Structure 1
Amino acid sequence: MPVKSQFFVFEGIDGSGKTTVSKRVSEILNTKSIPNLWHREPTDSEFGKKIREFLQEKIKLNPEEQLKLFLSDREVSVNETILPSLKNGQSVVQDRYYFSTAAYQGRDEEHAADILYMNEDKGFPEPNRVYFLDLSPEEALERRATRGGNKEVFDEQLEQTRIYQNYLAILPESTIFVDATADLDEVVNFCVEDILNSFS
C-alpha cells in the first residue's frame, strides 16, 4: 500500500517510558513496511547539548535562557531532521516535541499555553498523532527511583506534578492517552496498531 509519511509524537513526564516505547514502536513499524526515523528532542546539536548539561545540573540557566535554547534546538530539529524526513517519504516517530517545552518550562497552565503558542507561531509542523503516556507523578517517581541513574533538574515530585498539570492543560484534544502502567508490550502494540490504522 502506498504510504504517505506522518509525524508521530510521544509525550509524558519523566519515567513514563516514552523513550523505550517510541523506540520499540519505530522498530516494529520498520518491519511492517512503514519506513520511519526515530528522533528525539533535545537533539545532539550545540543547543541540545547545552540543554542536557542544564538538565543534568552541570550548568545553570534562567527560564528565558532555557526557552531560547529549546526553541533554537527545535529549529535545528525541524529544519534538519523532521521536515527533510517527511519530504522524503519517511515518517518520524519522535520522543518529545513542543508540548514538552510548554509543560516543563511553563510556570503554570497559562504560561505553558503561551509557550505552546510561541512554538506554533514559529510554524513548526503539527504532528499527525500525539501519544501521551499517562502515569501519575507518584508512580513516575517510584519508577525513576527503581531505575536509578543521575538525578535531573526536574526530578522533584512538586516539579513533576506541575509538569503533569501543564500537560493536561495544553495537550491537543485529539491526544491519545495511553495507560503507562500497563504491560510494556501492551502499550507498544496499542500504539503500533493505532499508527497502522492511521495509514489505512
Structure 2
Amino acid sequence: MAWTKPPEGWNQQTTERIASSVQARRKAKKMTAAQLADRTAELGHPLSRSVISDIETGRKRSLEVGELIVLAAALGVPPIVLIYPDIPDGEVEALPGWQVPSGAALDWFSGDGALSRTRTADDITHFETLPVDRDQQELVRAVRAYRRTKRALMRMIADEMIADDSRTPAEIEAGRRIQRQLSEEVERLRERIGELGGVIDEDPLGIQEESGRDGA
C-alpha cells in the first residue's frame, strides 16, 4: 500500500518501499501490527504497534537500520527481501538515478557484484559502473565459499561417523578423498580471508557450531 502522502526524494521512496514490504509480509503471515510489535519485543528491540503503523502508513518517513533488521527477523525474512521485494527482475532505484533490476541491486548490496547502469546524455548512451573495493568484494565472496565448503565438510564427517560397514573399500577411499579436498579448500579460503582482513575463528572446522546449526 502506498503512503497517503507521497514520498519526497529517493530516501523516502526507499523507506516507502520497505514499509510496503513490511505490510505485505505481515498480512501474508496473517499477523496484526500488535502481534508484530510483540515479536520485535521478544527479539530484544521492541517497536510499538503505533510505530509499526506509522511506518506502514508513512507518518514515520524514515527507517533506522536497527528497525529494518528487527522487522525482518520478526517477519522471518532476510532483510534484503524487504529492501528489494521485487527480486529478481523488478526495477528499483538502488541509488538516486540508478534504475536497475532488483537482482542486480541485491548482488551489489550483498557484495556479489558491481552496480551498473546505462544512461543517455546528448544522444549518447553511456555505460557506468559504480566503483567498488575489489578486496572487500573478494572477502565477501570468500566468506560465502568458506562457510558453504565448511558445512559440506561437516556433513561428510557426520555421515562418516554414522556410516555402516556396507561400503566397499573404493567407496570409503572416494569419500576420504573428497574430505581431504574439502579440508584443503577450507584451509585455503581461511588463509585468504585472513589476508583480506577477515576475522576467523581459531577453530578452522567449528565442528560444534556448524553441526549444531545444521541439525537445528
TM-score by length of 1: 0.23
Q: Which has the larger radius of gyration?
A: 2
TM-score by length of 2: 0.21
